[in-house]
Amino acid sequence: KQEVTQIPAALSVPEGENLVLNCSFTDSAIYNLQWFRQDPGKGLTSLLLIQSSQREQTSGRLNASLDKSSGRSTLYIAASQPGDSATYLCAVRTNYGQNFVFGPGTRLSVLP
């Protein structure tokens, strides 16, 4: 059974810092991995999708990497801004599954 963990659970940084969020999964037989952002009281916004055949994806100040063999993905946020404050969730889609398994999220606060 696929299990997804995220470290750290919470992170507080001053504005302008570069930061890395970590996601680990137990079963490397994944189809893809998706990073989401959730603002308080809001829905999930898709940030990046990495297919199992890819090693990284970039969108603006965000870069997500994937290492299937070690069961890890990282989300790199460059030059963080207060508007980046949110909970970041990673979700793994397995090869055999029809759903996404979510991690518990990392709550990020970027201080002005």
Q: Which residues bind other proteins (CB under 8 A)?
A: 31-32, 34, 36, 38, 41-46, 49, 51, 87, 89, 91, 93, 97-102, 104-105
Q: How far is the CB of 37 from other proteins (least distance, A)?
A: 11
Judged by beta carbon, residue 41 or residue 112, the one nearer other proteins is 41
Closer residue to other proteins (CB): 18 or 36 = 36
Is the Cβ of residue 96 or residue 112 nearer to other proteins in the bound state? 96
Residues 28-32: contacts with CB under 8 Å, at least 24 apart: 28/68, 28/69, 28/71, 29/94, 29/95, 29/96, 30/2, 30/68, 30/92, 30/93, 30/94, 30/95, 31/93, 31/94, 31/95, 32/92, 32/93
Least distance (Å) between residue 1 CB and other proteins: 11
